Amino acid sequence: MVQKTYQTQPPKGSLRQRITNLNDNLDAKYAVFRRSLSGKSAQFRTIHESIDAATEVAKIHAAEAVSNGDHDFTFYVVQLKHRVGIENGKPVDTPMA
C-alpha cells in the first residue's frame, strides 16, 4: 500500500485521513469503503467509532467525488466484526469488541 506523507497529521475524520494501523483505534467499529470503477473491489478509506460518523464521512466523500466530476461511485459504510491475519509478525484472530 502506498502511504501519502504530509507535513502535518490529518485531523481525525478528515478526508486526508487514511488507515494504516487499526490497532490505533480499537474502539472503531465502522469503516468507509469506496467501490472501484470496475465494481469488482472496494478501497478502504476511513474508520469510525459510530455509524453516524461513518455515514457523515461517506456523504462528504460522495460530495467531494461529485465536485471532482466523478459520475460512477459508491461509498459503503460497513460494520467491522472480526480481525483475521498477521499483525506485527503475530497471528490475529479476534472479534472486534
Higher pLDDT, 4 or 65: 65
Grid cell in block for residue 23? 490497532
- pLDDT tens string 51-82: 999 999 999 999 999 999 998 999 999 999 99
Q: Which of 39, 44, 40, 37 is nearest to 77 (CA)?
A: 44
Give the pLDDT of residue 11: 65
**pTM over the 0.85 mark:** no
Domain regions of the chain by residue span:
22-95
CA 45 vs. chain centroid, Å, equals: 3
Give the pLDDT of residue 45: 83
Give the pLDDT of residue 3: 52
The three-point CA angle 81-85-91 to 5° equals 115
